[in-house]
């Protein structure tokens, strides 16, 4: 019996660029390098590492990712302006396989922003794509808001970009407006009608505003697109982007009707999903497809009975296929250092001896307070690890008095730049009182944008994972911590974010975006 040949679909990950545009999802330099390395290891074909002209921080991150990449094409984004393209090339040229991705908004609404006529925009597209191709032999071009661009004009500018040297044409559904049938028809008509379309790769880039990003991307592939642009966990502005894990597993599980293959090692999906959630501060919803906490959980009696008799009754893929351990072994205070190292390695964490020593101390502290420690507890423990440069402020001690009568009180001692300082403050609740203590000892004008609490596991002794997002003068930072005491976890998460904010201040705002994506004039 012969097997039908599998068409190869390229996976273009833009977690570090489009994903980071989510308000509050800004990552540190070290975090960007770590995520890029994980993407490279899992088999992503193209990594869009950032928008080099946006800020000095973005430029440095893209440059270093380009240098460290082993397998993936490293791509940078550039507006349809020659300085943008030159800056992008300077950042990606160190990669083994560099790519320049340039774009301009082609719909009537987007053409109005730079106030260009159709002919003027067409000339600019030819000029900028030609310039990019003279620098790099791998050039991607995107007509932003393509799905709301007039058909005749879209066809015209795609032909211009191909003739100017673009090797990949990306068709973005920038505002998540299209539907699967439209997505497929658009790709199919471009391939059939545009001269030279058979010599380049068509890509699809879908947003999830109407909840159809994955369906739209797969429909485009069936119509002839051979590159999907996506992000880990579907991270992205507004409702997010196509989720990498969804399209990869959809093509794998339903390979009978979608005979396509990718280079993605799906067993690495859960690890990178957890890591992106941790560094971005965006928790994965419990019922999220593939990577949600409940994706492989079964509570219904009928479902549980079926699972016991045959797992395939209610599971279309195995947990191991996406990197979940077959069993969630419980650890406790009698577990040794070797067992902890082994378990962390199973979860995707490779630790040096000094790192393991620090984590083991915190593991023992947790084990003294919590009888059973599950995988989720260990992941939460790893998320609380801080960068040494972000340790300006540390919690020494805290005592909170709360109840239904009178204001809640908190007494706190912090170590600030090596000196211990104490204060006592009141608040509307114990967390508010604790945050007021921190602000009294470390004055700042940052605004608290987000405060989220999630139980890591079940039970009254469960750890609480707290995420905090703060903003000051355009700088957005996130902090996370976990503890069996919710107030302690909240305070440490707040301090974690504040430490990051102090680092940003000292860098002079190098991570702040200095230009607008829509500033295309």
Same domain, 472 and 420: yes
Is position 350 within any domain?
yes
pLDDT tens per residue across span 432-458: 999 999 999 999 999 999 898 988 777
Q: What is the CATH number of the domain that holds 455?
A: 3.30.160.270
**Once rounded to an integer, what is the mean pLDDT over residues 456-477?**
82
Place of tokens 């790192």: 355
The answer to whether 208 and 180 are in contact (CB under 8 A) is no
Is the pLDDT score of 389 beyond 80? Answer: no
In angstroms, the CA 454 to CA 403 distance is 22
**Are residues 211 and 102 part of one domain?**
yes
End residue of a domain, out of 348, 363, 385: 385
CB 71 within 8 A of CB 46: no
Determine what percent of the chain is predicted with pLDDT higher than 70. 89
Residue 205 marked ligand-binding: yes
- In this prediction, residue 181 carries a pLDDT of 97
> Which of 200-204, 276-280, 509-513 bottoms out in mean pLDDT, i.e. has the lowest?
509-513
77 and 220 housed in the same domain? yes
Query: 189 and 200, same structural domain?
Result: yes
Residue 461: the pLDDT is 73
Residue 471 has pLDDT above 60, yes or no: yes
pLDDT-derived band at 332 (thresholds 50, 70, 90) equals confident
Q: Which of 280, 305, 338 is the last residue of a domain?
A: 280
Does residue 395 share a domain with residue 381? Answer: no
The H helix count followed by the E strand count for the chain is 16, 16
Q: How confident is the model at residue 313 (pLDDT cuts 50, 70, 90)?
A: low
In a domain, 213, yes or no: yes
The CA distances from residue 209 to 17, 79, 204, 237, in Å, are 18, 24, 15, 10
Do 237 and 379 lie in a common domain?
A: no
Q: Residues 381, 401: one domain?
A: no
User: 104 pLDDT band (50/70/90 cuts)?
Assistant: very high
Would the annotation count 354 as a binding residue? Answer: no
So what's the pLDDT on residue 519? 42
Please say if the pLDDT value at position 357 is more than 90.
Answer: no
Q: 240-267: per-residue pLDDT in tens? A: 999 999 999 999 999 999 999 999 999 9
* Cβ contact 470:490 at 8 Å: no
User: Do 75 and 16 belong together in one domain?
Assistant: yes
Give me the pLDDT at residue 41, please.
96
Task: Tally the domains of the chain.
Answer: 4
Q: Is 241 annotated as a binding residue?
A: yes
Quickly state the pLDDT bin for 279 (edges 50, 70, 90).
confident
Picking from 242, 245, 247, the residue whose alpha carbon sits closest to that of residue 258 is 247
Is the alpha carbon torsion for 84, 89, 90, 91 positive or negative? positive
- Determine the pLDDT at residue 385: 62
- Is 448 within 8 Å of 491 (Cβ atoms)? no
Rounded average pLDDT over 110-133: 95
Is 186 domain-assigned?
A: yes
| SS3 state of residue 172 | strand
Residue 221 belongs to a domain? yes
Q: In this structure, is residue 157 part of a structural domain?
A: yes
Q: Please check whether residues 90 and 147 belong to one and the same domain.
A: yes
Residue ranges with strand state E in 249-296: 260-261
What is the DSSP code string of 426-441?
EESSHHHHHHHHHHHH
* 329 shares a domain with 312: no
Task: Note whether residue 124 is domain-resident.
Answer: yes
Which residues are CB-neighbours of 432 under 8 A, at least 6 positions away?
408
Evaluate if residue 299 carries a pLDDT over 60.
no
Mean pLDDT, to the nearest integer, of 186-191? 98
Q: Is 206 buried (19+), middle (13-18) or exposed (0-12) by CB count in 10 A?
A: buried
* In the predicted structure, residue 341 carries a pLDDT above the cut 90: no
- If one compares 306 and 438, the residue with the highest pLDDT of the two is 438
Same domain, 68 and 146: yes
Q: What is the pLDDT of residues 504-516, one digit of tens each?
A: 777 665 454 555 5
| pLDDT above 50 (res 65) | yes
> Alpha-carbon distance 119 to 111, whole Å?
11
Please give the residue that has the higher pLDDT: either 278 or 169: 169
Instruction: Name the band, by pLDDT with cuts 50, 70 and 90, for residue 368.
Output: confident
DSSP assignments along 396-419, one per residue: EEEEEE--SSS-EEEEEEEEETTE
Report for 28-37, 187-196, 285-294, 402-411: range of highest mean pLDDT: 187-196
Residue 222 has pLDDT above 90, yes or no: yes
Domain coverage including residue 366: 325-385
- The answer to whether position 178 is within a domain reads yes
Mean of all residue pLDDT scores within the chain: 87
Can you give 501-513 as a three-state secondary structure string?
Answer: HHHHHHCCCCCCC
- Say if residue 399 carries a ligand binding annotation: no
Is the pLDDT reported for residue 310 higher than 70?
Answer: no
Q: Which two tokens stand for residue 108?
A: 């009537």
Q: How confident is the model at residue 304 (pLDDT cuts 50, 70, 90)?
A: very low
How does residue 482 score in pLDDT terms, banded at 50, 70 and 90? confident
Q: Which of 360, 385, 410 is the last residue of a domain?
A: 385
Q: Which of 183, 266, 209 is nearest to 232 (CA)?
A: 266
Q: HSE (CB half, 13 Å, CA atoms) of 113?
A: 15
- Does 521 map to a domain? no
Co-location of 392 and 380 in the same domain: no
pLDDT tens for 13-51 read 999 999 887 766 778 888 899 999 999 999 999 999 999
């Amino acid at each position: 019996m012969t097997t039908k040949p599998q068409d190869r679909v390229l996976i273009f990950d833009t977690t570090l660029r489009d994903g980071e545009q989510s308000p509050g999802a800004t990552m540190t330099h070290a975090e960007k390098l770590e995520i890029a390395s994980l993407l490279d290891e899992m088999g992503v074909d193209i990594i869009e590492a950032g928008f080099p002209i946006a800020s000095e921080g973005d430029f440095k991150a893209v440059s270093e990712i380009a240098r460290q990449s082993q397998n993936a094409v490293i791509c940078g984004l550039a507006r349809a302006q020659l300085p943008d393209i030159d800056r992008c090339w300077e950042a990606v040229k160190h990669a083994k396989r560099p790519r320049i991705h340039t774009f301009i908004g082609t719909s009537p609404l987007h053409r109005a922003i730079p106030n260009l006529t159709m002919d003027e925009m067409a000339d600019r597209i030819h000029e900028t794509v030609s310039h990019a191709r003279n620098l790099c032999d791998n050039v991607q071009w995107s007509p932003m808001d393509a799905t709301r661009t007039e058909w005749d004009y879209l066809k015209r500018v795609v032909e211009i970009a191909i003739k100017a040297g673009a090797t990949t044409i990306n068709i973005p559904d920038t505002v998540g407006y299209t539907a699967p049938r439209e997505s497929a028809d658009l790709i199919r008509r471009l391939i059939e009608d545009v001269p030279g379309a058979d010599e380049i790769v068509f890509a699809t880039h879908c947003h999830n505003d109407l909840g159809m990003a994955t369906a739209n991307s797969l429909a485009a592939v069936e119509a002839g697109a051979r590159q999907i642009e996506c992000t880990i966990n579907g991270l992205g502005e507004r409702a997010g982007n196509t989720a990498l894990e969804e399209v990869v597993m959809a093509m794998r599980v339903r390979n009978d009707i979608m005979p396509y293959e990718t280079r993605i090692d799906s067993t690495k999906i859960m690890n990178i999903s957890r890591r992106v959630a941790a560094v971005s501060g965006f928790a994965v919803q419990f019922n999220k497809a593939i990577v949600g906490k409940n994706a492989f959980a079964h509570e219904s009696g009928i479902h549980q009975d079926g699972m016991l008799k045959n797992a395939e009754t209610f599971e279309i893929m195995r947990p191991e296929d996406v990197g979940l351990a077959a069993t969630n072994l419980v650890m406790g205070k009698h577990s040794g250092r070797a067992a902890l190292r082994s378990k962390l390695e199973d979860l995707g964490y490779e630790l040096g001896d000094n790192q393991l020593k620090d984590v083991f101390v915190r593991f023992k502290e947790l084990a003294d307070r919590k009888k059973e420690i599950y995988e989720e507890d260990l992941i939460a423990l790893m998320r609380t690890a801080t960068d040494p440069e972000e340790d300006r402020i540390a919690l020494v001690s805290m005592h909170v008095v709360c109840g239904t009568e009178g204001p809640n009180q908190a007494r706190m001692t912090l170590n600030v730049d090596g000196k211990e300082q104490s204060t006592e403050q009141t608040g509307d609740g114990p967390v508010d009182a604790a945050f007021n203590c921190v602000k009294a000892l470390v004055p700042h004008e940052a605004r608290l944008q987000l405060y989220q609490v999630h139980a890591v596991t079940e039970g009254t002794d469960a750890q609480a994972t707290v995420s905090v997002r703060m903003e000051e003068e355009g700088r957005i930072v996130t902090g996370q911590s976990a503890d069996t005491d919710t107030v302690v976890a909240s305070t440490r998460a707040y301090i974690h974010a504040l430490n990051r904010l102090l680092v940003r201040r000292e860098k002079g705002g190098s991570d702040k975006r200095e230009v607008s994506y829509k500033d295309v004039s």
